[in-house]
Amino acid sequence: MKLDGRRQLPEARIRVLLVDDHALVRLGFRRLLEDDPALEVVGEASDGQEAVELARRLRPDVVVMDYAIPGFNGALATRKIREAVPGTRVLMLSMHSEPSYVTNSREAGASGYLLKNALDLELVAAVKGVLESDWLQDPRLEHESFSTGAKRSLSKRELEVLALIVAGRSNKEIAGELSLSVNTVAVHRANIMDALNLHNAAELVVYAIRHGLVSLP
């Protein structure tokens, strides 16, 4: 693991929230983590909204977050959790090794990014590691910079609008779902296109999926 900076682990057991849409995966993670007496799984969530609600209520030390969860993806869920419970650290798990996914996770406020293969050897160490460091990154990931062509990162609200655009919602439907005016949604859509340096809806959908900004509907 690559650790940037170090902190002291808490003296009490580390309280962990698991977020994955597959019950068997969560069960496997729970068994791995609870084999270590320093760790305690305090809750499980199957989607982004449930993850945010449980994090607010349980205030875990660490959230183990699957990137590709239903609803809004792990990066957006992370952003919401970090806003609601700033002291909670998030360890992102993903099948994707592309740098854009790592960057999205880090910009959202995650403290680490781990590939989902060979987790049996690394998950416990990674959960402890995100409490000791500013950033933990899977050593199998290439340490490289990249450019997506974007002018800036998207805000939390823009990511919410983007997810609904990719899901095929109209401006009116998005407005109703997010309690916004149709004009406000139209402004968000235009700002998203400008921020990502795109020119039509088809480009927007392809870009969002390719770069991990949304989960597939």
- Superfamily for the 2-137 domain: Response regulator (3.40.50.2300)
Compute the average pLDDT of residues 63-87.
Answer: 92
Residue 133 has pLDDT above 60, yes or no: yes
Cβ neighbours around 100 below 10 Å, total = 17
17 in Cβ contact with 140 (< 8 Å): no
Instruction: Report how far residue 179's alpha carbon sits from residue 175's, in angstroms, rounded to the nearest whole number.
Output: 6
Mean pLDDT of 58-67: 96
Range 93-114 average pLDDT = 88
Average the pLDDT over 54-76 and give the result.
92
> What fold does the segment set 156-210 form as a domain?
Arc Repressor Mutant, subunit A (1.10.10)
pLDDT band at 119 (very low <50, low <70, confident <90, very high): low
Segment 119-134 mean pLDDT: 84
Mean pLDDT of the chain: 85
Bridge partners of residue 62, in order along the sequence: 16, 89
Joined tokens for residue 165: 């655009």
In the chain, where does the domain assigned CATH 3.40.50.2300 lie? 2-137
Mean pLDDT throughout 207-215? 78
More confident residue, 118 or 169: 169
CA–CA distance, 75 with 98 (Å, rounded to integer): 14
H-helix or E-strand containing 16?
strand 14-19
CA distance 90 to 83: 12
Start-end ranges of CATH 1.10.10.10 in the chain?
Answer: 156-210
Distance CA 78, CA 137 (A): 16
For residues 17 and 60, the answer to whether their CB atoms sit within 8 Å is: yes
> Which distant-in-sequence residues (6+ apart) come within 8 Å of 163 by Cβ?
71, 72, 73, 76, 214, 215
Mean pLDDT of 159-180: 89
pLDDT band at 131 (very low <50, low <70, confident <90, very high): very high
Q: Where are the alpha helices (DSSP H) in the chain?
A: 23-34, 48-58, 74-84, 99-108, 119-132, 156-166, 171-178, 182-195, 201-210
Q: What is the pLDDT of residues 7-47, one digit of tens each?
A: 555 568 999 999 999 998 899 899 989 999 999 999 999 99
Kindly indicate the confidence band of residue 145, based on its pLDDT and cuts at 50, 70 and 90: very low
Question: What are the pLDDT digits (tens) for 83-103?
Answer: 999 999 999 998 888 888 888
